[in-house]
Amino acid sequence: MHELSIALSIIEVAEEEVRRRGDVQVLAVHLRLGPLSGVIKEALFSAYEMAREGTALEGSRLVVENVPIVAWCPACEAEVSVVAMHQLACSTCGTLTPEIVSGRELEFTALEIKP
Amino acid sequence: MTTETRLVEVRTKILKQNDIAARALRARFRDAGVYVVSLVSSPGSGKTTFLEQTLRSLGGQSRVAALVGDLATENDARRLCRAGVPVRQITTGPVCHLEAEMVAQALDGWNLNELDFLFVENVGNLVCPATYDLGEQMRLVLFSVTEGEDKPLKYPTIFNTADVAVITKLDLADAVNFDRAAACQNIQAVRPGMQIIELSAKSGQGMEKWLQFLQIRAAIYHAPEGR
């Protein structure tokens, strides 16, 4: 359960932004999360609920955009979706796809704030 | 969203702090000329035995050291000390993985210039360590023949973030009807093109091949055109 550490890092980044922008209220934190980031969204939501208590983020919610796995297929010579996280093969032709284009994201993208 | 609220863009990696610390470590290792290998696996896959044999074999010819992570106890460090090389334990307490900053702190007082190889054994856990860069040059994921051939499919992320898969406890393969082809196929499914090394640290089978592989990787790293 490393999602608590992740939630604390999110709060750290967000609090830094809040300090920088003066006295604002954070309504939501927007993230992008790929399946290969190693972070489970549901676990992150529960961890965030705990971690936000007593911080400037108290009362804020997490908005997570799921980033799909996209890989480069050497046979199709194109960026493709894959069969599954445990089957990194082109969903069109079945060729194994060593090169991951996206799906590892664990990124902070935006803050929804109220002045 | 009401008219009062607004969305402000904040583009940053969530693990920015860890990434910064890992980058600093990688630069330090590069400057000191030390090749750093990290080990991840589930608890009980044979990481410590594998590492002990590796340290013993390398110890005669190269300058090696190791850091070992566990939630509690100094047992692994004590065990590895028998190999006659410097070893330090990192006890993580409630934390289920190593972070770059913990590695940096554990190195305090060590002169990295005096080392050729540094091994970092992560906490036994196939989930959490996947997310944290430790500044290593090579990450090994170990899995033993007794764990089942589908382990890579169940924990794809850790295999995907590792560079090399090491199948351990090969001496028990027959006893557990280990299906080698299926295991290798599953590794390739989650990390196409991944290098696979099979060995038994207990019998010594495959250890020489592993050590040769390590020396080659280190030589490439040290070569002027190396990355």
A34/chain B closest Cα distance in angstroms: 11
Domain ranges (residues) in chain A: 3-114
Give the residue-averaged pLDDT of A92-109.
95
Take residue B144 and report the two structure tokens written for it.
């033993």
pLDDT at B1 over 80: no
Report the gap between the CA of A66 and the closest CA in chain B (Å): 15
Report DSSP state, residue B173: T
**Protein fold of A3-114:** hypothetical protein PF0899 fold (3.30.2320)
Using CB atoms, pick whichever of A9, A106, A110 lies closest to residue B7.
Answer: A110
Q: What is the mean pLDDT of chain B?
A: 93
Q: Return the higher-pLDDT residue of B5 and B219.
A: B219
Model confidence pLDDT, tens digit, residues B82-131: 889 999 999 988 888 999 999 999 999 999 999 999 999 999 999 889 99
* pLDDT at res. B2: 52
Q: What is the overall mean pLDDT for chain A? A: 94
How is B51-106 classified by DSSP, letter by letter?
A: HHHHHHHHHTTS-EEEEEEESS-SHHHHHHHTTSS-EEEEE-TT-SS--HHHHHHH
Task: Tell me the pLDDT tens digit for each residue of A3-42.
Answer: 998 999 999 999 998 998 887 899 999 999 999 999 999 9
Of A12, A31, A36, the CB nearest to B157: A36
In this complex, the residue of B5, B6, B10 whose CB is nearest that of residue A109 is: B10
Instruction: Select from 2.60.40.420, 3.30.1330.20, 3.40.50.300, 3.30.70.260 the CATH code of B16-144+207-222.
Output: 3.40.50.300
**What average pLDDT does range A57-63 have in this prediction?**
94
pTM for the structure as a whole: 0.90
Tell me whether residues A114 and B4 touch, CB distance under 8 A.
yes
Q: What is the rounded distance in angstroms from the CA atom of residue B169 to the CA atom of residue B142?
A: 10
A37 and B153 within 8 Å at the Cβ level: the answer is no
Residue carrying structure tokens 């894959």 = A82
Q: How confident is the model at residue B225 (pLDDT cuts 50, 70, 90)?
A: low
ipTM of the complex: 0.81
Q: Which residues of A touch B162 (CB under 8 A)?
A: none
Interface test with B, best of A32, A85, A86 (most B CBs within 10 A): A86
- Above 90 in pLDDT, residue B187? yes
Domain ranges of chain B: 16-144+207-222
The answer to whether the CB of B7 falls within 8 A of the CB of B1 is yes
Q: How many CB pairs lie under 8 A apart between chains A and B?
A: 109
Neighbours of B223 (CB within 10 A): 9
